[in-house]
Amino acid sequence: MRDFFGLDGTFNKYMGFVADTFILSLMWIFFSLPLFTIGAATTALFYVTTRRLSNREGYITSDFWAAFKANFVRATKLWLLVSALVFLIVFNFLLAWQNPELMGDMRRFVMSAQIVILAEVLFVANYVFAVTARFDMDFKQTLKTCFFMANRHLLSSVICVLTPVVLILFSIYSFPPLVFFTPGISAMLASYLIMKIFRKYRPEMDKEPFLELQELEQQRAEQKRLELLNNSANSHTENRQRRIKNKEALSMSISMYTISNKNGMEMTVTNVGCAIMSLVIPAKGGKKDVVLGLDKPEDYKGKHPFFGVAVGRFANRIGGGKFTLNGKEYQLETNDGVHHLHGGSNGFDKKEWNVDFSSQEKIIFSLQSPDGDSGYPGDLSVRVSYTLTDDNTLRIEYEASTETETICNLTNHSYFNLSNENDILNHEAQIFADKITEVDEGLIPTGGFVAIAGTPFDFTAPKKIGADLQAAGDINKTGGYDHNYVLRGEGRAASVFAPDTQIRMNVNTNSPGMQLYTGNFMDGTVIGKGVAYAKYSGFCLETQLFPDTPNKPSFPTCVVKKGAPQKFYTEYGFEW
């Protein structure tokens, strides 16, 4: 019963949706009349209370008055704008209707256009209030989001276009005051229809959003397996022999190295993707491997969630897989839905790097990426060095140079777990940043920033990673943290502490941003070191340039030019 009626229980989720529908209809009745202040206050009050003042689904805060004030201010601004547009359109329509000589031959065209515009305004406005409750959107972004949400439901759009047209014509010919209540009736019909669509196509509303994607991947894997079974015996044998030969050839070109410091820290790396396979710390309770990884170097050639690898050419996402450089547009692989992620399916993480230098405490890898590699323009020479210092710090240095202008954004994608527990929810983290880059539904930056004070993203003071993880994950449907923090400047970036092992990790960098990722998409299908890595098994602190930087001129540049190498460093310092 507690699970059913709890804050995140089934009852609250469905009742929250019904409450949204009721409020959308109710507020339209208020705003169909010139009672702006009463309407905004009443709808804000109803909305905050029915959502139980919670952070779930990204709503503002658990503080009642803060939530009410924010909803009231935004609702008043938006609905004054909407009401003014509705009044202007209706006024012009009636003026054209009663004074045909003013428009002449253009009268019918103008009146028809007024009806279409009015229908669009009313339908977009249906979504306004639900979106205003999101703390991470400014006024302009709210309007854009409302417009997008309103127009992606084609069936609802058709109904809501026809409804106000019919009611307006009916009210003009029979009972003019009915015009004022057209928005309310339209909103009720739209809300009811949208609810029906949701219940038909999303009956599993309690399911994790990304579980569907995982199921789809499993279906595809099963389909491929069946296709292989349908092959002839000869073909199957030939394929098996070819795989064995490829594996033998692969093993010959893959190597593994171990470096250490005088205090007993040891790190094992492979030249496949410069992957950090293990990082062992002689903690007080015994040796502790603080990174997630796979068993063998050749395993890093296969599919895995970027365990410990050097990511490039461009770490993180590029919107639509497109960018323009020197007036020419380039199309990259779209390996993350419609977007490009971590350099594509054959990025730096899958390359076999050269070893330029190796000693007890240091190793330097290098890679030549030719023009056109994974769709990127220009040649690129990359060096990545790992050093274990005697003050128990892993220092990573990145250097990228070119003879032809190109873009680059390098990072290391190690997953850390400093605890003896299977997940990282009890780790206490502090991040030295005051804002994050604002993102859309596809996790692509809008170009704006969001202040994190008082939000689930606030790590300005030490806080358990699991404290607000679900609230943060609900905001962009990420299932946890997967956000870029805008660091205050060179030097301290983060500090993470595991209470049970007393291990602390301090992060320093000269990169402008850092991605906090909590392993939201791991599902136990990848096994390494005898562990099936499940959700939240590790966390990443990926120091980087901002996501989608090639398409955001206001962000720190990712362009590498001839004679001006790109240089960044990251330090992971450990205390125990």
* Catalytic residue list: 413, 542
Give SS3 for 525: coil
Q: How does strand 491-498 pair with strand 482-487? A: unpaired
Between CA 272 and CA 349 the distance in angstroms is 7
Between CA 36 and CA 33 the distance in angstroms is 8
293: nearest Cα among 530, 481, 517, 572: 530
Strand order in the sheet with 463-464: 354-358, 362-369, 380-388, 393-401, 566-575, 503-509, 491-498, 428-431, 463-464
Backbone angles phi, psi at 446, to 5 degrees: -85, -15
Between CA 115 and CA 283 the distance in angstroms is 72
Give SS3 for 370: coil
Concatenated DSSP letters of 403-419: SS-EE-B-EE---B--S
71: nearest Cα among 124, 150, 135, 136: 135
Q: 245 vs 241, 249, 256, 271, CA distance in Å?
A: 6, 6, 21, 20
Residue type, 473: G
CA distance from start to end of the chain: 44
146: nearest Cα among 81, 195, 63: 81
Between CA 362 and CA 261 the distance in angstroms is 9
The answer, yes or no, to whether the previous bond of 313 is cis (omega within 30 of 0) is yes
Between CA 41 and CA 35 the distance in angstroms is 10
Q: What count of Cα atoms within 13 Å lies in the side-chain half-sphere of residue 359?
A: 8
576: nearest Cα among 476, 484, 506, 520: 506
Residues present in the chain in total: 576
Going by the DSSP 8-state scheme, the letter that residue 546 receives in this structure is P
Concatenated DSSP letters of 6-64: STTSHHHHHHHHHHHHHHHHHHHHHHTTT-HHHHHHHHHHHHHHHTTT--GGGBS-S-H
Between CA 108 and CA 473 the distance in angstroms is 50
Residue entry with tokens 């540049």: 557
Between CA 192 and CA 445 the distance in angstroms is 33
Going by the DSSP 8-state scheme, the letter that residue 378 receives in this structure is S
Q: Which residues pair with 107 in a beta bridge?
A: none
Between CA 30 and CA 34 the distance in angstroms is 8
Both tokens assigned to 163: 């409804």
Between CA 463 and CA 567 the distance in angstroms is 32
